[in-house]
């Protein structure tokens, strides 16, 4: 409902703003779209990147990493090879970028685990949750060879970032349980051992023929690898 303009006693009547006048906001058709081209461009880029990641995940699971080409991924995503290389320098970089994006996710999952779980159990359960939701699909279908290899541009090696992220989560859990024993060294040692177990399971898994790789097997290898961390030395 339009409000009535009330003039104080003795004041000159105020005219209502005319349609299209300076006092009335006016938006031309399409002005909003033209005013935010950057937002639409970024949304398009994000959608293309997601399409490439999803396509790579499907192709790696179906054919294996080695038998999947950049052209295969691009075709599956509905783009050209040239477009693929605008987003990723190589297939390997696509996988490694996915690992980088998982670091804060793993941290949050580890911190959120029940307080009575030891660091290794918390890390294992966090990773198993990612396996269940297929977030680790690219890691377990792509090559682990460069997981600890050369830096990606200006970034430190991916392995170091993963270990550091997990160490921060462990440090938070240790401090909450017993501040006296929560030291950066302890958190770092536990983190590197846990990541070593993950990598060992990953190497074992990717060494198998593609047709033998299943989610159940990935979970079994992770369980076994983490169990080795807490086994006593054989008599």
> Residues 2-24: pLDDT tens digits?
444 455 555 555 555 555 445 54
Q: Tokens in use for 170?
A: 């462990």
Average pLDDT on 98-114 reads 92
User: What is the rounded distance in angstroms from the CA atom of residue 168 to the CA atom of residue 210?
Assistant: 35
> What residues contact 166, with CB distance under 8 A and at least 6 apart?
106, 107, 110, 123, 191, 194, 195
Average per-residue pLDDT in the chain? Answer: 81
Listed range (8-17, 33-42, 71-80, 130-139) with the worst mean pLDDT: 8-17
Residue 231, number of CB atoms within 10 A of its CB: 7
pLDDT > 70: percent of the chain:
74
Residue 145, number of CB atoms within 10 A of its CB: 10
User: What is the rounded distance in angstroms from the CA atom of residue 85 to the CA atom of residue 88?
Assistant: 5
User: What is the rounded distance in angstroms from the CA atom of residue 154 to the CA atom of residue 84?
Assistant: 21
Helix (H/G/I), strand (E/B), else coil: 227: helix
pLDDT given at position 167: 97
* Superfamily name with CATH number, domain 39-88: Homeodomain-like (1.10.10.60)
Average pLDDT on 26-36 reads 56
Q: Which residue's structure tokens are 């938070």?
A: 172
User: What is the rounded distance in angstroms from the CA atom of residue 26 to the CA atom of residue 28?
Assistant: 7
Say if residues 185 and 167 touch (Cβ distance below 8 Å): no
> Residues 155-203: pLDDT tens digits?
457 788 889 999 999 999 999 999 998 999 999 999 999 999 998 998 8
User: What is the rounded distance in angstroms from the CA atom of residue 61 to the CA atom of residue 55?
Assistant: 10
pLDDT given at position 62: 81
User: What is the rounded distance in angstroms from the CA atom of residue 201 to the CA atom of residue 225?
Assistant: 6
Over the range 33-44, which residues count as b (16 or more CB within 10 Å of their CB) and which as e? eeeeeeeeeeee
User: What is the rounded distance in angstroms from the CA atom of residue 166 to the CA atom of residue 180?
Assistant: 20
Q: Where are the domains of the chain?
A: 39-88, 90-230
Single out the residue of 58, 50, 162 nearest to residue 110, CA to CA. 162
Q: Where are the beta strands (DSSP E) in the chain?
A: none
pLDDT given at position 39: 83
What dotted CATH number matches 90-230? Answer: 1.10.357
Q: Which residue's structure tokens are 């009547």?
A: 13
> What residues contact 69, with CB distance under 8 A and at least 6 apart?
none
């Amino acid at each position: 409902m339009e409000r009535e303009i009330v003039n104080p006693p003795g004041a000159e009547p105020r005219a209502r703003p005319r349609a299209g006048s300076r006092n009335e906001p006016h938006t031309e058709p399409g002005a909003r779209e033209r005013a935010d081209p950057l937002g639409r461009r970024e949304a398009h880029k994000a959608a293309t990147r997601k399409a490439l990641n999803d396509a790579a995940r499907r192709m790696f699971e179906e054919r294996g990493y080695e038998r999947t080409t950049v052209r295969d991924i691009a075709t599956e995503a509905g783009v050209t090879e040239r477009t693929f290389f605008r987003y990723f320098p190589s297939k390997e970089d696509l996988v490694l970028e996915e690992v980088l994006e998982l670091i804060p996710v793993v941290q949050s999952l580890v911190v959120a685990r029940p307080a009575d779980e030891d660091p290794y159990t918390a890390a294992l359960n966090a990773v198993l949750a990612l396996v269940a939701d297929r977030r680790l699909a690219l890691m377990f279908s792509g090559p682990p060879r460069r997981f600890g290899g050369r830096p990606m541009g200006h970034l430190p090696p991916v392995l170091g970032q993963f270990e550091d992220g997990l160490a921060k989560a462990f440090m938070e859990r240790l401090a909450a349980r017993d501040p006296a024993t929560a030291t950066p060294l302890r958190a770092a040692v536990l983190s590197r051992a846990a990541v070593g177990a993950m990598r060992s399971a990953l190497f074992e898994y990717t060494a198998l023929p593609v047709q033998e790789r299943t989610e159940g097997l990935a979970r079994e290898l992770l369980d076994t690898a983490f169990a080795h961390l807490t086994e006593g030395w054989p008599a």
